[in-house]
Homo-oligomer: A and B are copies of this chain.
Amino acid sequence: MDEKSEISKKLLPIMDTMELLSGRWKIIIMTTLYLGGRMRFNEIKRSIPRITGRVLSKDLKFLEQHDIVSRTVKDTSPITVEYELTEYGRTLDPVFKELTHWGIKHRKKIIGLG
């Protein structure tokens, strides 16, 4: 195997994961649902300062399509829609744990330097 295909082989799964994490709001939405459990559209919106309905809607749809988040329409009046992390979405937990762990050490390093 040449150098470039070895790089590709290493990169592909990393890029696959990153596709789900990248963007300004996706991680914030996932963390919000992780902490908040089952939440309605406007609950999520109110929990995340400055997010717009357009982006929240778009990102939730994306996450639903990738089976990270589930969407349930409740037959109330007016209807409400509940979102929560799927079981599969929760398998991202170790990823978030590592991101968190490294971030905490990184912040300590930066503050230590400052």
A residues sitting closer than 8 Å to B (CB atoms) are 3-4, 6-7, 10-18, 20-22, 27-28, 31-32, 34-36, 47-49, 88, 91-92, 94-107, 109
Contacts A18-B27, A21-B18, A91-B105 hold; do A100 and B6 have CB atoms under 8 A apart?
no
Q: Which residues of B contact A14 (CB under 8 A)?
A: 27, 31, 96, 99-100, 103
Could you say which of B7, B49, B99 contacts A95, with CB atoms under 8 Å apart?
B99
Contact A31–B10 (Cβ < 8 Å)? yes
Q: Which residues of B contact A3 (CB under 8 A)?
A: 35-36, 47
Q: How many copies, total?
A: 2
Interchain CA distance A23-B35 in the complex, whole Å:
27
Could you say which of B31, B91, B103 contacts A102, with CB atoms under 8 Å apart?
B91
Q: Distance in Å from the Cβ of A11 to the closest Cβ of chain B?
A: 6
5 contacts between A and B (CB under 8 A): A13-B107, A14-B27, A15-B27, A18-B27, A98-B98
Nearest 7 A/B pairs, CB to CB? A13-B103, A17-B103, A16-B103, A98-B98, A17-B99, A14-B99, A13-B104
